[in-house]
A = this chain, B = another copy of it.
């Protein structure tokens, strides 16, 4: 099976890796050519700032603008970062050549050393290292996954789908109470979808809520896939949801807390984030839906005062910021939703539904809202 895996993936992986290697070599060559021609070695890096983030209304996603900044070798403020960029580029080349992947921390350690004859370290902390890798992502126009770098696996999946993961068949219908851990890298050469009866994906915020839905076998009774992202879903989880949405045409329906954090998580799943705007087209899901918890549910579900959690000043501030997001501004439903949240003066968690009955949320709340197609999108 190991063999099968290797041939299976490398066969596919090669083209992608050849492309990425080409980009790295080009980067190195422009630097070298400049040097030999006595020109200043320079790398152009697209700017990852709010000011260079554009809301593409037509596509419904956040995108990175054209602004770039130069990183020069002969500039005291940039020389170290220039060197760090080159170091990581060469580590990435090694990884791709060896057909291996490494963690962000692993790459940091690989490049970390004391510069010969000095007391200077190439890197002191990982905080210096991670942004350089994001610089390389945008400079090379290649995702971190294509650079063979992974983050912590986070999030879990069960449901009516068979997934092929590095050549292994994962039957989502037989994952018990544990579920399949969603990998950090879920690109098509590593993860393929095989047999899927599911009609939609229910994505919940937390693992404990996921447990409730899995224990009640919600995915079986409602023919769907059940995922969580352990809070703010990581790139691997978002990318998997997007692939399920684009390739299998499954609606992504989110069940998140009724608070600014829940709204922000939804916004990131749907339109992407500013810091990762350069890969919204690989991560964002413009037609993702927000099923709940809704501000109206306190009355609609006849909940008790005990579920109320007062909004903090910071919650109010965040809610107003989100209200002002261009992608929420044009949206009557969201304007109402957030205004009602602010009028209520309290937030509610998904777990609050348990005050009605242990399985109220899985057996009544979500099925009823799905039937009524009562969601925000």
A106 contact set on B, CB distance < 8 A: 208, 212, 351, 354, 358
Which of A32-40, A51-59, A172-180 contacts its partner?
A: A172-180
Docked complex Cα distance between A167 and B351 (Å): 27
From 170 to 198 in chain A, residues with beta carbon under 8 angstroms from any chain B beta carbon are 170, 173-185, 190-191
A212 contact set on B, CB distance < 8 A: 102-103, 106
Partner of A178, one of B109, B182, B216: B182
- The reply to whether the CB of A217 lies closer than 8 angstroms to some CB of chain B is yes
**Is there an interface contact between B180 and A180, defined as CB atoms closer than 8 Å?**
yes
- The reply to whether the CB of A372 lies closer than 8 angstroms to some CB of chain B is no
A interface secondary structure, majority: mixed
- The reply to whether the CB of A287 lies closer than 8 angstroms to some CB of chain B is no
A266 contact set on B, CB distance < 8 A: none
**Is there an interface contact between A112 and B185, defined as CB atoms closer than 8 Å?**
no
**Is there an interface contact between A176 and B184, defined as CB atoms closer than 8 Å?**
no
A179 contact set on B, CB distance < 8 A: 153, 180-181
- The reply to whether the CB of A306 lies closer than 8 angstroms to some CB of chain B is yes
Docked complex Cα distance between A170 and B169 (Å): 11
A206 contact set on B, CB distance < 8 A: 152
Which of A18-26, A62-70, A93-101, A322-330 contacts its partner?
A: A93-101
**Is there an interface contact between B169 and A174, defined as CB atoms closer than 8 Å?**
yes
A114 contact set on B, CB distance < 8 A: 304-306
- The reply to whether the CB of A301 lies closer than 8 angstroms to some CB of chain B is no
Partner of A109, one of B207, B220, B351: B351
- On chain A, which size bracket covers the interface? 35 or more
- Across the two chains, which residue of chain B brings its CB closest to A179? B181
A178 contact set on B, CB distance < 8 A: 153, 165, 170, 180-183
Partner of A102, one of B150, B156, B358: B358
Docked complex Cα distance between A184 and B212 (Å): 12
**A15 CB, min distance to chain B CBs, angstroms:** 20
Q: If A102-B212, A153-B156, A217-B2 touch, does A109 touch B354 (CB 8 Å cutoff)?
A: yes
From 288 to 329 in chain A, residues with beta carbon under 8 angstroms from any chain B beta carbon are 304-307
- Across the two chains, which residue of chain B brings its CB closest to A152? B207
**Is there an interface contact between A174 and B1, defined as CB atoms closer than 8 Å?**
yes
- The reply to whether the CB of A355 lies closer than 8 angstroms to some CB of chain B is yes
**Is there an interface contact between A109 and B307, defined as CB atoms closer than 8 Å?**
yes
- The reply to whether the CB of A166 lies closer than 8 angstroms to some CB of chain B is yes
A95 contact set on B, CB distance < 8 A: 358
Docked complex Cα distance between A2 and B340 (Å): 40
17 new A-B pairs (CB below 8 Å) besides A101-B211, A165-B178, A166-B176? Answer: A95-B358, A100-B215, A102-B354, A106-B354, A108-B351, A110-B358, A112-B355, A113-B304, A122-B306, A152-B206, A152-B207, A168-B175, A170-B176, A176-B183, A177-B183, A179-B181, A181-B181
